[in-house]
């Protein structure tokens, strides 16, 4: 299967800040590829370059076989781009936004109806509502409809579901799966680990560098080793106490528990006894199942 996005040595600086540090990345045609990283990792800079809104300082990138710098005008007709912040016209209605973006690409709103039907079915209830008055989920569905209006080969999405309710997020990802089946390649960044699991491949990015690339399953394979949950009514004292144990390499908050990364000499029963001697009488430690978030924390720490 050929690569529809090919990035080689991509570098971008803002003054002294190195936003992208010789990034190499390939995305296969017809896949959903996830980009995972914290704020400031370089995700948006990478999207801006791929969307031809920004030029790199060094390296190269091609999307759909077109160079993002030398062939940027041709490329804009082949990509759909959804930036992190809602970028449609809030004072235009749903209908007006759709017709405006269709006119930019010289197409009819209904031309690619097989792509946009699931979206339009939800938007047709209020065609005359101002885009700025839509809910967060509906705003993003409208933005997706506008990004697909010209049937792009590649869809670039920068954290499209941030701040969207769980039901709308699930519906949104169902739409992405349908688009993939129709041959559209999707590069999507997300801060939700459940969404990362739905990608075929993911890249972990931090401080402008790609830390690792693989399938979600292979990336977290082996993360269960030396990883434990810990809990107590007094979570912060527990966190501090665990960090003093010589066998504990890292301890951090994870939902309603703590995740504890240990070395091979760690014995959870001995650790519980020691914690209870320190006054944490209800302390519990049990094996944890690792996920992408644990992996990212580990890689980011090693990268630091």
Q: Count other Cβ atoms within 10 Å, centred on residue 209.
A: 17
Q: Both 231 and 111 in a single domain?
A: no
Q: Both 10 and 38 in a single domain?
A: yes
pLDDT at 294: 81
Q: Both 188 and 175 in a single domain?
A: yes
Report the CATH number at residue 291. Answer: 3.30.70.100
Which string of DSSP letters, residue by residue, matches 136-171?
Answer: HHHHHHHHHHHHHTT--SEEEEESTTTT--HHHHHH
Q: Both 169 and 27 in a single domain?
A: yes
Range of the domain at 117: 3-220
Interacting residues of 269 by C-beta distance below 8 A, sequence separation 6+: none
Q: Both 18 and 141 in a single domain?
A: yes
3-state DSSP call for residue 55? coil
**Dihedral of alpha carbons 79, 84, 89, 95, sign:** positive
Domain count for the chain: 2
Cα(61)–Cα(39) distance, rounded to whole angstroms?
A: 23
pLDDT at 279: 93
Q: Both 243 and 115 in a single domain?
A: no
**Dihedral of alpha carbons 168, 94, 133, 89, sign:** positive
Q: Both 249 and 173 in a single domain?
A: no
Q: Both 229 and 271 in a single domain?
A: yes
Which among 220, 248, 283 is the end of a domain?
220
Q: Both 239 and 263 in a single domain?
A: yes
Which among 220, 250, 272 is the end of a domain?
220
Per-residue pLDDT of the chain (304 residues; tens, 9 = 90+): 789 999 999 999 999 999 999 999 999 999 999 999 888 889 999 999 999 999 999 999 999 999 999 999 999 999 999 998 888 888 999 889 888 988 888 888 777 667 777 777 777 788 889 988 988 888 888 899 889 889 999 999 999 888 788 888 888 898 899 899 999 999 999 878 788 889 999 999 999 999 889 998 888 876 667 899 999 999 999 999 999 999 998 899 988 999 999 988 999 999 999 999 999 999 999 999 888 778 777 766 666 5
Report the CATH number at residue 176. Answer: 3.40.50.300
Q: Both 175 and 254 in a single domain?
A: no
Q: Both 18 and 165 in a single domain?
A: yes
Which among 197, 220, 243 is the end of a domain?
220
Closest C-alpha to 279, from 239, 253, 226, 241: 241
Interacting residues of 181 by C-beta distance below 8 A, sequence separation 6+: none
Q: Both 252 and 203 in a single domain?
A: no
């Amino acid at each position: 299967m050929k690569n529809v996005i090919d990035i080689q040595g991509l570098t971008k600086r803002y003054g002294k800040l190195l936003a992208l540090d010789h990034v190499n990345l390939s995305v296969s045609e017809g896949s959903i590829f996830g980009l995972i990283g914290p704020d400031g990792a370089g995700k948006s800079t990478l999207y801006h370059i791929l969307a031809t809104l920004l030029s790199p300082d060094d390296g190269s990138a091609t999307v759909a076989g077109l160079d993002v710098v030398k062939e940027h005008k041709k490329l804009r007709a082949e990509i759909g781009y959804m930036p992190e912040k809602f970028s449609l016209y809030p004072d235009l209605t749903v209908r007006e936004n759709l017709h405006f973006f269709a006119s930019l690409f010289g197409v009819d709103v209904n031309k690619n109806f097989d792509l946009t039907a699931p979206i339009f079915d939800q938007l047709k209830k209020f065609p005359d509502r101002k885009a700025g008055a839509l809910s967060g989920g509906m705003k993003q569905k409208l933005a997706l409809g506008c990004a697909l209006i010209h049937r792009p080969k590649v869809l670039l999405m920068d954290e499209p579901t941030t701040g969207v309710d769980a039901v709308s997020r699930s519906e949104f990802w169902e739409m992405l799966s349908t688009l993939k089946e129709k041959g559209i390649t999707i590069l999507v960044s997300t801060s939700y680990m459940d969404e990362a699991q739905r990608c075929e491949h993911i890249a972990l990015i931090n401080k402008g560098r790609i830390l690792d690339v693989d399938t979600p399953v292979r990336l977290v394979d082996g993360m269960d080793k030396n990883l434990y949950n810990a809990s107590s009514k007094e979570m912060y004292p527990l966190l501090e106490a665990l960090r003093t144990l010589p066998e504990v390499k890292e301890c951090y908050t994870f939902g309603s528990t703590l995740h504890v990364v240990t070395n091979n000499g760690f014995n959870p029963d001995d650790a519980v006894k020691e914690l209870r001697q320190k006054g944490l009488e209800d302390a519990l430690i049990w094996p944890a199942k690792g996920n992408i978030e644990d992996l990212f924390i580990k890689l980011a720490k090693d990268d630091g």
